[in-house]
Amino acid sequence: MPHSLKVRAVAMFEAVQEIAIYIHRFHNLDLFQQGWYQIKITMRWEDDEDVSFGIPARVVQYEARDLGPSSIYGIWRIDDTDNSFSTQPFRIKYARQDIHLCMMISFNLSLGRFEVLPTTAVILKFELMYAPTFENGADLQASLDAYPAAVHEFRIPPKALLGLHSYCPVHFDALHAVLVDVSIHVSLLKAASTAPRNSRNAEFVANKSYDTLDQGLSDAASVKLKAFMIVKALLTAHGILLEELQKLSKAVDQAIDIPEFVSKRNDMKLINSVPQANQFTTEVEISGQRMPQNGLEGADRALDFETAEKLRSLSKRELLNCYHSVGNRLLYLWNIFLKFHRDNKTKILEFLHDAWAKDRKAEWSIWMVYSKVEMPHHYINSGVHRRVSSLWKLPDEPPQTAATRAELHRRSIAQMRINNRSIQDMHIFGDPSSIPIVIVERVMNAPRRTISDNSYLRQGHHLDLRLIRNQWLLIDPKVEFLMSETNEDKTSGDFREMGHRLAQEVISFVRKKMDKASRYGNLGDIRLSFVGHSIGNLIIRTALAESMMEPFLRYLYTYVSVSGPHLGYLYSSNSLFNSGLWLLKKLKGTQCIHQLTFTDDQDIQNTFIYKLCKKTLDHFRHIILLSSPQDGYVPYHSARIELCQAASRDKSKKGRVFLEMLNDCLDQIRANPSEHRVFMRCDVNFDATSYGKNLNSFIGRAAHIEFLESDIFARFIMWSFPELFR
SS3 string, 84-129, reads EEECCCEEECCCCCEEEEEEEEEEEEECCCCCCCCCCCEEEEEEEE
Q: In this predicted structure, what is the pLDDT of residue 517? A: 73
> Domain for residue 131, yes or no?
yes
Q: At 408, which helix (H) or strand (E)? A: helix 399-413
263 inside domain: no
Residue 704 maps to a domain = yes
Q: How far apart are CA 184 and CA 413, in angstroms?
A: 27
Q: What is the pLDDT of residue 450?
A: 32
Residue 135 in any domain: the answer is: yes
Domain-embedded: residue 385: yes
Q: What is the pTM of this model?
A: 0.81
Axis-axis angle for helices 212-252, 345-358 (nearest 10)? 100
H or E element, residue 556: strand 556-562
User: Residues 298, 333: contact at Cβ < 8 Å?
Assistant: no
Last-in-domain residue among 191, 217, 238: 191
Domain encompassing residue 133: 15-191
Instruction: Compute the distance between CA of residue 615 and CA of residue 627 in angstroms, rounded to an integer.
Output: 21
Q: What is the pLDDT of residue 265?
A: 46
Residues in contact with 654: Cβ distance below 8 Å, sequence separation at least 6, in sequence order: 570, 604
Q: Do 379 and 650 contact (CB within 8 A), yes or no?
A: no
Please give the pLDDT value at position 348.
93
Half-sphere exposure (Cβ direction) of 667: Cα atoms closer than 13 Å: 11
Number of residues written out for the chain: 726
314 found inside a domain: no
Q: Say whether 471 sits in a helix, a strand or coil.
A: helix
Residue partners of 336: CB distance under 8 A and separation at least 6: 245, 256, 258, 262
Strand pairing category for 424-425 and 148-156:
antiparallel
What is the pLDDT at residue 452?
31
Domain containing 139 — which CATH number?
2.60.40.150
Name the domain boundary from 147, 175, 191.
191
How does the average pLDDT of the chain come out, rounded?
78
| Residue 10 maps to a domain | no
Domain end, chosen from 164, 191, 218, is at: 191
CATH code (residue 557):
3.40.50
Q: According to DSSP H, which parts of 416-494 are helical?
A: 426-429, 466-475
Secondary structure letter of residue 550 according to DSSP = G
Whether the Cβ atoms of residue 217 and residue 7 lie closer than 8 Å to each other:
yes
Residue 179 lies in a domain: yes
Of the candidates 308, 348, 709, which has an alpha carbon nearest to the alpha carbon of residue 533? Answer: 709
Number of H helices, E strands in the chain: 24, 25
Note the maximum CA span of the chain.
115
Question: In total, how many domains does the chain have?
Answer: 2
70 alpha carbon, distance to own chain's centre: 34
What HEC string does 154-168 produce? EEECHHHCCEEEEEC
Q: Please, which residues have CB within 8 angstroms of residue 604's CB and are 6 or more apart in sequence?
A: 598, 610, 653, 654, 657
Name residues whose C-beta falls within 8 Å of residue 97's C-beta, 6 or more positions apart in sequence: 27, 28
CA–CA separation, 96 vs 94, rounded Å? 7
Could you give the CA distance from residue 291 to residue 304 in angstroms, rounded to a whole number? 19
For residue range 363-390, list pLDDT tens digits in order.
Answer: 888 898 888 877 766 555 544 344 444 4
Residues 6+ apart with CB under 8 A from 127: 39, 40, 41, 42, 148, 150, 151
Residues of the chain with pLDDT under 70: 1-11, 50-52, 65-70, 135-138, 193-221, 260-311, 376-397, 419, 445-463, 520-524, 575-589, 671-675, 691-693, 695-700
